[in-house]
Structure 1
Amino acid sequence: MSSAMSKRLEGKTILITGASSGIGKSTALEFARTSPKSLKLILTARRIDALKSLAEEIKSEVGDGVQCLPAQVDMSKPSEIVSFVSNLPAEFKDIDVLVNNAGMVRGVAKSPEIDPEDINVMFATNVTGLITMTQEVMKGMSKHGESGQGDIIMIGSIAGREGYPGGSIYCATKAAVRTFTDALRKELIATRIRVIEIDPGQVETEFSLVRFGGDKAKADAVYKGVEPLTPDDIAEVVVFTAGRRENVVIADSLIFPNHQAAATVMHRKS
């Protein structure tokens, strides 16, 4: 017997950015497992081989009820995003749920020693890319019914709520996402488009590995003495928000592991 959430999600088309790993990959799997009878997943990232592998994994686990469209998209390039959305196959054009998950961080430098290229790529990916994707997808959502319908789900961060040393640029990008999301929710108040923000605390993904330029020892040290959240923990919340009754908006969520109370306040076991 299908759950109420499964039935609400049936037949929907869901676009997930940054789906090749981490929270994005887990979110795709969680959607497929929750509503395996009739679902369309558009999976985007820069690593197309990883997306194709994910599509095969979903098919082998849940069968043919979930259709997957893997697509290589670089979120730091607005023109690429516009072209991608406008050229979606007809059967995938009618997007019901956008999960803006793609994001990245580089380095731990403090001002005035932050590399300008790091600044540019973080803002291009985390802010400009996210806004561009949102606007392009919204053009389709606005045609749903009299006032438009759909879900825009932003994966933010505790970093968007409080800045911390060595993370000023990343924090600034996530604060921009948070402010954009808040304004967007108010702009769309007369529509049936739900605007949802989910802000994770510490989650163990490739995030730290990218931040430290592939230095695994440094990345592993971030999680020493703690039990961080997993991508699956956040994916379950994403799917839960999308699976609510239309009149229910989980507008704003902050999710910590048990040892964390703020961006830099954590209890580490010796």
Structure 2
Amino acid sequence: MPVIFVTGATSGFGAATARRFATEGWKVIATGRRADRLDALKAEFPEGVIHTAQLDLTDRDSIVAAVAALPEDFKPVDCLFNNGGLALGTKAIPDVDLEDWDRMIDTNIKGLVHTTLELLPLLEAAGKGASIVNVGSVAWRWAYPGGNVYGGTKAFVHQFSQNLRTDLGGKDIRVTTLEPGMSKTEFTMVRTHGDAEANESFYDGVDPIRPDDIADIVWYLATLPPHLNISVLEVTPVQQVAGRPEIHRH
């Protein structure tokens, strides 16, 4: 039975993807910081389908410990879904919070790198068809006010994924950067430090990407014929397009 390792499985894309793969007959390693949500997810499925591991992507030791403690029947790992990440703050430079910047760098960059390195031996053991799906964002190339460090971290995800794919050439491990646009999850609530009204109003009049949409795409990527690799997949709502250049006149 194939196995997927999901970071950020307590909400949004991660939770939806964990459910999709568990429903399709895969074993799921669901990880995240909120143990109560992991327990609730595990309880939705028969015993032995989901293994949970509480970890913090900003703490390398917790990543190492979670991987080291994986049960033998959840090895090897056929797909790594590097989904855990966040945006914090909406203000433009220089009116920013450095703690927010540091947390985004620690989570979106360091967390992704450390998780990938720990999982690589288990992915190699899975053999041909193993996949890494890294969640990026259209924000890596569509700059917008307040996007600053968040967009920078997603530019790192894009470039790291391309170099990872190059370094893993010949090892039968596929690497994809999945780059969503406007998506309705807890993303904006986290970004605004808990402003539920902002989270709802942001999506007024828009039919955004939903977590189940991303779960469907990850399923597609993980179950492609093993000789195929999709390097980059950008997905947006039909209503979202790249903006025209803004001119500031004096």
Give 2:19's match in structure 1, choosing from 29, 45, 52.
29
- Aligned residue number for residue 134 of structure 1: 116
- Aligned residue number for residue 202 of structure 1: 182
Distance 1:180 1:122 in 2: 16
- Aligned residue number for residue 151 of structure 1: 131
Contact map agreement 2:182 2:209 (CA 8 A) in 1? yes
Superposition map of 1:1-270 within 5 A: 11-33=1-23, 35-36=24-25, 39-57=26-44, 59=45, 63=46, 67-144=49-126, 150-262=130-242
Deviation at 1:13?
A: 1.1
Contact map agreement 1:98 1:153 (CA 8 A) in 2? yes
RMSD: 1.6
Aligned residues: 244
Partner secondary structure for residue 102 of structure 2 = helix
Contact map agreement 2:9 2:15 (CA 8 A) in 1? yes
- Cα deviation digits, residues 45-67 of structure 1 (max 9, x gap): 1011101111122x1xxx56x61
Amino acid in the other structure paired with 1:47: R
Deviation at 1:96?
A: 1.3
Amino acid in the other structure paired with 2:6: I
Distance 1:162 1:179 in 2: 15
Distance 1:74 1:52 in 2: 16
Distance 2:61 2:38 in 1: 21
- Cα deviation digits, residues 6-57 of structure 1 (max 9, x gap): xxxxx11110000011000110111122x23xx2110001011101111122
Amino acid in the other structure paired with 1:50: R
Sequence identity, in percent?
38
Partner secondary structure for residue 110 of structure 1 = coil
Q: In structure 1, list runs of 5 or more residues that go unmatched.
A: 1-10, 266-270
TM-score w.r.t. the length of structure 1 is 0.86
TM-score w.r.t. the length of structure 2 is 0.93
Q: In structure 2, list runs of 5 or more residues that go unmatched.
A: 245-250
